[in-house]
């Protein structure tokens, strides 16, 4: 027997030993529950885009209709794998896998309607755009944004918005069963909240964070309407601003509006959205900044500098 064959057999035995389950076995109920929440969020977003396509320009209806149906079916199938079953006590590894795998799956799924719509003929470009949206990176593979189907533009904005609030949706979904794993997901995945959370329970923290996120989105929407943007432009850019993403409905981005007031509003709103939500919560509740004052001052100095 060659040394290579012997090494291969030893490796196979180690992977099959008790306590070292294969990768497929590690996708436990907690991860499947998180994937279900992600699929539901994308299905709802897809439905909104499908309706938008039908009532506006009539383009990309089939692409978003098919993607929405696929997400809904996937959510139903995933739900059947964990609903009504006793969930074993999750570990920190389970929590991190739930967050990581859901993020990857959401990024890949977000690319499907973009590819089917024809706006991104190359698979790599569609995946790049979907990933950029979900991760709120804001980089785009589109050369010409103007003239794209309304459903595609709205989907890009929604992927930003879902990406910004995604960890909150995830925590609300898994917190009842995740226990300490939910805290590890929260602290390890998002910079919007820090080790000092805004409420004792993770689910309460997630709900409060969601409330702040929705409030920021609403304020951004009203502010952009007041500086002259149309409801369509304001909705898309409010979602982009709240998530600190950067996608726009114009090829020239904010410069395409040729308005100083619009550029100032977008800049101020983006800077405000970049502040930690713990800081906003402490200010609103009158608890003062405490140690977070250093963070806020550093943030302001960095931006000005």
- List, in order, residues 6 or more apart from 256 with CB less than 8 Å away: 146, 248, 250
What is the predicted pLDDT for the residue at 40?
A: 93
Residue 13 falls within a domain, yes or no? no
Residue 1 falls within a domain, yes or no? no
Residues 204-217, mean pLDDT to the nearest whole number: 85
Domain that holds residue 99: 27-274
What is the predicted pLDDT for the residue at 287?
A: 74
Residue 214 falls within a domain, yes or no? yes
Residues 156-166, mean pLDDT to the nearest whole number: 92
What is the predicted pLDDT for the residue at 73?
A: 97
* Residue 247 Rama label (left phi>0; alpha psi -120 to 50; beta): beta
Residue 38 falls within a domain, yes or no? yes
Closest C-alpha among 287, 286, 229, 295 to residue 256: 229
Which of 174-178, 192-196, 216-220, 292-296 is the least confident region?
Answer: 192-196
pTM, entire model:
0.82
- List, in order, residues 6 or more apart from 45 with CB less than 8 Å away: 155, 158, 159, 162
Residues 185-212, mean pLDDT to the nearest whole number: 61
Residues 145-165, mean pLDDT to the nearest whole number: 94
Residue 12 falls within a domain, yes or no? no
Query: Does position 239 have pLDDT exceeding 60, yes or no?
Result: yes
Query: Does position 202 have pLDDT exceeding 50, yes or no?
Result: yes
Residue 17 falls within a domain, yes or no? no
CA angle 235, 106, 132 (to 5 degrees): 60
Residue 272 CB neighbour total at 10 angstroms: 15
The tokens describing 77, both together, are 């199938």
Residues 138-157, mean pLDDT to the nearest whole number: 94
Residues 187-200, mean pLDDT to the nearest whole number: 48
**pLDDT of 31-82, one tens digit each?**
888 899 899 999 999 999 999 999 999 999 999 999 999 999 999 999 998 8
Helix boundaries (H) for the chain: 3-16, 29-55, 61-79, 92-117, 123-134, 150-178, 180-189, 202-226, 231-242, 260-273, 277-284, 292-304
CA angle 244, 287, 165 (to 5 degrees): 25
Exposed, middle or buried by CB within 10 Å (0-12, 13-18, 19+), for 59?
middle
Q: What's the structural domain count of the chain?
A: 1
- Cα 181 to the center of its chain, rounded Å: 19
Query: Does position 279 have pLDDT exceeding 60, yes or no?
Result: yes
Residues 193-199, mean pLDDT to the nearest whole number: 49
Task: Report the distance separating Cα 142 and Cα 247, nearest Å.
Answer: 11
Query: Does position 195 have pLDDT exceeding 50, yes or no?
Result: no
Closest C-alpha among 78, 104, 204, 231 to residue 163: 104
- Using only C-alpha atoms, what is the Rg of the chain? 22
- List, in order, residues 6 or more apart from 261 with CB less than 8 Å away: 227, 228
Query: Does position 5 have pLDDT exceeding 80, yes or no?
Result: no
Which of 147-156, 186-195, 269-278 is the least confident region?
Answer: 186-195
Categorize the per-residue pLDDT at 153 as very low, low, confident or very high, splitting at 50, 70 and 90: very high
Residue 289 CB neighbour total at 10 angstroms: 14
Categorize the per-residue pLDDT at 2 as very low, low, confident or very high, splitting at 50, 70 and 90: low
What is the predicted pLDDT for the residue at 276?
A: 82
Residue 10 falls within a domain, yes or no? no
Name residue, tokens 């200010």: 283
pLDDT over 70, % of the chain: 76
Categorize the per-residue pLDDT at 21 as very low, low, confident or very high, splitting at 50, 70 and 90: very low
Residue 121 falls within a domain, yes or no? yes
- Among 88-92, 112-116, 211-215, 284-288, top mean pLDDT goes to 112-116
Query: Does position 9 have pLDDT exceeding 60, yes or no?
Result: no
**pLDDT of 96-129, one tens digit each?**
788 888 889 999 999 999 999 999 999 999 999 9
Residue 75 CB neighbour total at 10 angstroms: 20
Stated length of the chain:
305
């Amino acid at each position: 027997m060659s040394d290579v064959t012997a090494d291969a057999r030893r490796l196979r035995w180690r992977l099959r030993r008790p306590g070292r389950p294969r990768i497929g076995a590690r996708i436990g109920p907690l991860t499947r529950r998180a994937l279900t929440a992600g699929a539901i969020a994308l299905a709802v977003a897809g439905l909104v885009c499908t309706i938008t396509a039908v009532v506006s320009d009539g383009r990309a209806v089939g692409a978003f209709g098919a993607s929405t149906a696929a997400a809904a079916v996937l959510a139903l199938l995933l739900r059947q794998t964990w609903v009504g079953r006793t969930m074993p006590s999750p570990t920190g590894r389970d929590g991190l896998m739930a967050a990581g795998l859901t993020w990857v799956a959401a990024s890949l799924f977000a690319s499907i309607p973009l590819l089917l719509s024809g706006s991104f003929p190359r698979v790599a470009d569609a995946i790049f755009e979907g990933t950029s949206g979900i991760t709120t990176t804001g980089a785009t593979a589109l050369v010409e944004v103007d003239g794209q189907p309304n459903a595609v533009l709205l989907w890009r904005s929604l992927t930003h918005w879902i990406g910004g609030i995604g960890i909150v949706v995830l925590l609300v979904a898994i917190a009842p069963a995740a226990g300490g794993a939910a805290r590890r997901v929260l602290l390890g995945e998002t910079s919007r909240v820090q080790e000092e959370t805004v409420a004792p329970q993770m689910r309460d923290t997630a709900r409060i964070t969601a409330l702040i996120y929705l409030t920021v989105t609403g304020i951004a929407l009203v502010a952009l309407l007041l500086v002259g943007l149309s409801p369509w432009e304001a909705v898309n850019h409010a979602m982009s601003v709240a998530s600190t993403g950067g996608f726009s409905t114009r090829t020239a981005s904010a410069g395409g509006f040729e308005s100083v007031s619009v550029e100032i509003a977008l800049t101020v709103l983006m800077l405000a959205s970049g502040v930690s939500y713990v800081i906003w919560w402490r200010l609103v509740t009158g608890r003062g900044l405490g140690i977070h004052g250093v963070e806020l001052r550093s943030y302001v100095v960095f931006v000005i500098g």
